[in-house]
Amino acid sequence: MTNLETYFKKSQPLEEYIDRMKDNRNNLLSIYKSFKLPEEDDRITKLKDANYSKVLVITEDWCGDAMMNLPILKRVSEELNLEVRVFHRDDDTRLIDQYLTNGKSRSIPIFVFMNSAYEQITVWGPRAKEVEKFVVDLRNDKLPDKDHPQYDDKVKETHLLISNRFKTDSSFWKNVYNSIINQLLYK
Supply the CATH number for residue 29's domain.
3.40.30.10
Residue at 152 is within a domain:
no
DSSP states along 121-158: EEEE-S--HHHHHHHHHHHHHH---TTSTTHHHHHHHH
**Are 122 and 183 in contact, with CB atoms under 8 Å apart?**
yes
Give, for all 187 residues of the chain, the pLDDT tens digit.
459 999 999 999 999 999 999 999 999 999 999 999 999 899 999 999 999 999 999 999 999 999 999 999 999 999 999 999 999 999 999 999 999 998 999 999 999 999 999 999 999 999 999 999 999 999 999 999 999 999 999 999 999 999 999 999 999 999 999 999 999 999 8
Residue at 119 is within a domain:
yes
**CA proximity to 112, closest of 64, 61, 77:** 77
Question: Model's pTM, two decimal places?
Answer: 0.95
Residue at 154 is within a domain:
no
Total number of domains constituting the chain: 1
Measured from the Cβ of residue 90, the count of other Cβ atoms closer than 10 Å reads 12
**Are 184 and 113 in contact, with CB atoms under 8 Å apart?**
yes
Q: Is 14 exposed, middle or buried (CB count within 10 Å of its CB: 0-12, 13-18, 19+)?
A: buried
Residues paired with residue 59 on neighbouring β-strands, in sequence order: 88
Radius of gyration of the chain (CA): 17
The domain in which residue 12 lies consists of 2-126+169-184
- Grouping H, G, I as helix, E, B as strand and the rest as coil, residue 31 is helix
Measured from the Cβ of residue 101, the count of other Cβ atoms closer than 10 Å reads 15
Residue at 160 is within a domain:
no
Residue at 147 is within a domain:
no
Residue at 137 is within a domain:
no
Residue at 164 is within a domain:
no
Residue at 159 is within a domain:
no
